[in-house]
Amino acid sequence: MDKYLVYGNPIKQSRSPVIHQAFAKQTEQNISYQKLQPEIDGFKEAVNAFIALGGKGANVTAPFKEQALEMCHHLSQRAQQAGAVNTLSFINNEIYGDNTDGLGLVQDLLRHGVKLTNAKVLILGAGGAVKGVILPLLEQQLGALVIANRTVSKAQALCQQFGSDKMQGCGFDDIANIDFDVIINATSASLTGEQPPISDELISDHTVCYDMVYGKSLTPFLMWAERLGAKSVIDGLGMLVGQAAESFNIWRKVMPEVEQVLLDLRADINKSD
Ligand code: ATR
């Protein structure tokens, strides 16, 4: 049985084993998938130990995505640009790194019928989560991609790094009067029950609002957008399942269906405390 796992610290909350086991059942693949929490300075040792045990691949979540990148002998362009790896493959004693977070986001948006070609997209935040999604978003031929962040210099640095004339970096006060089609909250504000300080005027009945965070109830950002009459509000559960599906496809060369897995996961989350 081929062995996979996910590394993170903390990792208790991870739903990746449930998702990958559901994919394996659906596609009739015989794999094991577990979660592991290395010490903060013990990640590389843990990966090498897993390779020695015959592990075939691993997902990587916070705070190890940058360390994972450093270990790779081969990197996809997506991982290189993101500066972070969430999918490791171990083949003939070499480590291959990819980043499927952005594909997960793009596919979830498309699955919800959101039109990205020529769309004006606003991303709130400029941290690690944003770096990973820029390239796959740009590949959708967006009309514009604006990165707004509390620390403006970080948004501007990201734009410089990607060097696309579609991109612009700014602060939250600079976006009040722009009409965006899609607004993606990628700040970690939702995790602490907060919301980025942005103008109510950003929301109209054609604005799609997406939060990379998910939970039993809507995040403060999505609640705010819904109250102001946004066209739709979508949380990040589909992105999570989507990035997992892409990782599964890299390892097993078969793309699982996400729909039923997503429904089961949602039901499970709604049942939990
Ligand atoms: P991640 O990997 O989840 O992106 P990160 O790299 O720590 O985490 O980035 C967190 C992002 O959320 C940053 O863009 C941060 O803004 P700063 O760059 O100014 O720190 C943003 N953020 C966190 N809390 C926020 C809040 N309460 N309001 C607005 N932005 C917030």
What 3 state SS string does 173-198 have? HHHCCCCCCEEEECCHHHHHCCCCCC
65 an active-site residue? yes
| CA of 190 relative to ligand 1 center, distance in Å | 10
210 and 114 part of one domain = yes
| CA of 32 relative to ligand 1 center, distance in Å | 34
90-106 mean pLDDT: 97
pLDDT of 152 higher than 90: yes
The whole-angstrom separation of Cα 97 and Cα 111 is 26
> Which domain does 148 fall in, by range?
102-234
**What is the reported pLDDT for 188?**
92
172-185 mean pLDDT: 93
**How many other CB atoms sit within 10 Å of the CB of residue 106?**
20
**What is the reported pLDDT for 190?**
85
Closest residue by CA, ligand 1 atom 29:
196
**What is the reported pLDDT for 70?**
98
198-224 mean pLDDT: 96
**What is the reported pLDDT for 176?**
84
95 and 106 part of one domain = no
157 and 247 part of one domain = no
**Is 24 among the domain residues?**
yes
**What is the reported pLDDT for 191?**
85
In this structure, what DSSP letter does residue 143 have?
A: S
Query: Does ligand 1 come within 6 angstroms of the Cβ of 194?
Result: yes
**What is the reported pLDDT for 216?**
92
pLDDT of 128 higher than 80: yes
**What is the reported pLDDT for 177?**
80
Give the chain's mean pLDDT: 96
The whole-angstrom separation of Cα 249 and Cα 257 is 11
133-144 mean pLDDT: 97
**Is 272 among the domain residues?**
no
Long-range interactions of 48-54: CB distance < 8 A, separation 24+: 50/3, 50/5, 50/90, 51/90, 51/93, 51/95, 53/3, 54/3
**Is 273 among the domain residues?**
no
251 and 193 part of one domain = no
Any idea what the CATH number is for the domain that residue 14 is in?
3.40.50.10860
pLDDT of 208 higher than 80: yes
pLDDT of 273 higher than 80: no
Angle at CA of residue 150, ends 159 and 146, nearest 5°:
35
Which band of pLDDT confidence, cut at 50, 70 and 90, is reported for residue 135? very high
- Taking the CA of residue 131 as reference, the ligand 1 atom at the shortest distance is 4
Residue 148, beta-bridge partner list: 124, 170
Query: Does ligand 1 come within 6 angstroms of the Cβ of 215?
Result: no
Any idea what the CATH number is for the domain that residue 156 is in?
3.40.50.720
**Is 74 among the domain residues?**
yes
156 and 53 part of one domain = no
Q: What is the pLDDT of residues 28-79, one digit of tens each?
A: 999 999 999 999 999 999 999 999 999 999 999 999 999 999 999 999 999 9
Query: Does ligand 1 come within 6 angstroms of the Cβ of 66?
Result: no
Q: Which two tokens stand for residue 53?
A: 């045990």
117 and 86 part of one domain = no
**Is 62 among the domain residues?**
yes
Helix and strand numbers (H, E) in the chain are 10, 12
The whole-angstrom separation of Cα 135 and Cα 81 is 7
- Rounded percentage of the chain residues whose pLDDT exceeds 90: 96
**Is 223 among the domain residues?**
yes
Closest residue by CA, ligand 1 atom 9:
127
154 and 201 part of one domain = yes
Number of domains the chain is built from: 2
130 and 228 part of one domain = yes
